Amino acid sequence: MPRSKNLQIALAVIGGVLVFVSAIVVVTARGILDRDQFSMRLARSLDDERVAGYVAEQAVNGLLELRPNLIGVRPILESSIREVVQTAPFRAVVRSSARTAYYSLFDSTGGQRVVLVLPDLAALLRGALTGGNPAVAEKIPDSLETALASDAAEHAFTSFITFWRVAKRLLLAFWIAFGLGVALVLSSIAAAPDRRKGLVFAGGVLAVVGIGFVAMLPLGRILPFFITDDPALRGAMTGVWLSYFAGLRWLALVFAGTGLVFTAAGTTVLEAANPITLARRQWDRIMSPSAVPAMRLARSAVLLVLGGFAIAMPMFTLTALGVLVGVGLVYLALLELFRIILPVVDTEILEETGGFGQSAKILGAALTVVVVLLAVAAYFATEREEVALAAQGAVTECNGSARLCDKTVDQVAFAGAHNAMSNADIPQFMFPNQRHTVRRMLDEGIRMLALDVHYGVPAAGRVRTDLDREDTSLKKIEASLGPEATAAAVRIRNDLGGEAEGKSGLYFCHGFCELGAYGMGPTMKEMRDFLVEHPGDVVVLIVEDYVEPGDLAREFAAAGLVDFAYTGSAKTPWPTLGQLVQDNKRLIVFTESGRPGEPWLQPVLDAIQETPYTFA
């Protein structure tokens, strides 16, 4: 074999390997290393029945571990959880949680083990059961932090994330390797003794690279067998794999298409290298009755395996045959196209010469077809992919309107309720300002809640204001009522309140807790449930706080609301509602005292102006 022929083959093969390896990392990296793409693809994996079914099954198992007494209603739980997993709010929760988890996965120092858990499923499940089975809904725990996978699967996922942490740092090197690989494949054409044959060989290498990309998708079915014995988990892992590596389909289209164009361009002027002709010859040689016994035995074994595979997986076989037929038809179409184009370019181009001028014209024509046909195909393919991805768990309305998503917070009117904690649905609450509970007000469209928080102590079936801990409350009352009226009120309060029967804590009260009070915790958890169930809503709280910021923060943290709290400054330009929704920072908390302590507690006077009560 001539030395230049060896060089041509080496350049093409090495270039093809570089392109294959680097392109997988470069193309897949966008879906994994980009925070938005990472979260959208995870949400899209729920389209796969195997993923959705596995998540639902794990949720039921975890719930029954926490509440064994619910075993009798397992069918109800299974159907309800499966319904929840397929809803837009759950996908939005997954998408938002994935964006939040992205930092710990890729931007932190690394080294920690990745634990897969279900996000906020308990709140959504309670909401789904409340209408049809309120008794069951009440038994759902506040949180459902159920592990999604076995130790082996989580170890594999941790290794997967570790690989991409390294790949993130080496991404530029992979881009360089990709460019070098493409350059080597093209250089192999120039190095070929007959550049038309070089064009055919390079096209074949690129086609093989494209087929390799397609082969990466079935790999997601094989790898789980080495990780777990659980069939359900294997299916879920396959579904997630296909979601993140789906972009390789379009990469396969580009490279296989380029290979077909190169091959068709080369074989137009070199019919002896026609792959269809060569394949026919090889088929005749393999199937020849006069073949040696060893060849015939091998032929029989191969045909037996292929036949058994076709019987076992008929749909996959039909799909593969359909792809092969499609590739063949595209090749024949391109072959005919070049037979028309090339003579128009140069009437001597079909002559059996290997001159550089003819080869350059052939290559130029081939590249032109590649740019035109594949650019159009890739554009529409990737555009459709982006549209489909963006719709996964996407929130299209903010506070009930798509138009509000582009409005900043200070450009939006929030329907509000003054003294929202004071309502007629709370037993023993005297002189209520509102008719219904905070949760019902949220359900009916209220998006700004003014709440008074005091220290209180249980006493004789009621709650007495802990004036020893909140001197600001007494001073405010005194400023409003005067010293004598305040002193009288305190005497009456002492007579009615009784002796303390428990520890001091945080309560929703209006002025005096003796006139009506209830603990913050349950209402705060209901507020969190609302935010989980309505991923497109932004809520504003104005807390008239008579308590220390640290105590208030602990109550918010216990309810899980801190995760939703907006931490930006009220003195800087406000973000849009769409940005708050995307970042899942949809709770804006103001305090009237403005005391520092937590980054998400905003001083109300820095951002809000009220009509003074002194106005007549």
pLDDT at position 527 is 93
Q: Where are the beta strands (DSSP E) in 357-432?
A: 416-417
Domain of residue 220 covers 3-270+313-390
Q: What is the pLDDT of residue 355?
A: 47
Which of 357, 390, 423 is the last residue in one of the domains?
390
Torsion of CA 570, 571, 574, 579, to 10 degrees: -60
615 within domain boundaries? no
Contacts of 443 (CB under 8 A, 6+ apart): 530
Q: Which amino acid is at 222?
A: I
Whether 376 and 408 map to the same domain: the answer is no
Q: Which amino acid is at 341?
A: I
Q: Would you say residue 295 lies in a domain?
A: no
Residue 439 has a pLDDT of 93
Same domain, 498 and 453: yes
Give me the number of domains the chain comprises: 2
Residue where a domain stops, chosen among 390, 413, 430: 390
Task: Indicate whether 306 belongs to any domain.
Answer: no
Q: Let me know if residue 616 belongs to a domain.
A: no
Say yes or no: 15 and 154 in one domain: yes
pLDDT at 14: 94
340 and 425 co-located in one domain: no
The pLDDT, as a whole number, for residue 524 is 93
Predicted local confidence at residue 102, as pLDDT? 81
What whole-number distance in Å separates Cα of residue 508 and Cα of residue 151? 44
Same domain, residue pair 447 and 545: yes
Q: Which residue type does 257 have?
A: G
**Same-domain status, 412 and 354:** no
pLDDT at position 350: 41
Looking at the structure, tell me whether residues 449 and 326 fall in a common domain: no
Give the pLDDT means over successive 10-residue stretches in the chain (616 positions). 75 92 87 84 86 86 84 86 83 80 70 63 78 77 67 77 86 92 86 77 85 82 83 87 82 75 62 54 65 73 78 72 67 62 47 48 56 57 57 76 92 93 86 90 94 87 77 65 70 63 85 85 91 91 91 91 89 89 91 87 85 76
Q: Which residues pair with 408 in a beta bridge?
A: 576
177 with 320, same domain: the answer is yes
- Extract the tokens encoding 239: 């579904």
Instruction: Judge if pTM exceeds 0.85.
Output: no
The residue out of 336, 370, 390 marking a domain boundary is 390
> Both 433 and 323 in a single domain?
no
Q: Are 480 and 349 members of one domain?
A: no
Kindly state whether residue 384 falls inside one of the protein's structural domains: yes
Asked, for residue 296, whether it belongs to a domain, the answer is no
DSSP string across 78-127:
HHHHHHHHTSHHHHHHHHHHHHHHHIIIIIS---SPP--B--SHHHHHHH
Distance of CA 107 to the CA centre of its chain: 17
One domain for residues 156 and 228: yes
Query: φ and ψ at 115, to 5 degrees?
Result: -110, 130
**For residue 344, what are the contacts with CB-CB under 8 A and spacing of at least 6?**
none
Query: Would residue 8 count as lying in a domain?
Result: yes
Task: Please indicate, yes or no, if residue 382 is contained in any of the structural domains.
Answer: yes
Give 201's DSSP letter: H
Distance CA 123, CA 101 (A): 19
Same-domain pairing of 413 and 493 = yes
Q: What is the pLDDT of residue 148?
A: 65
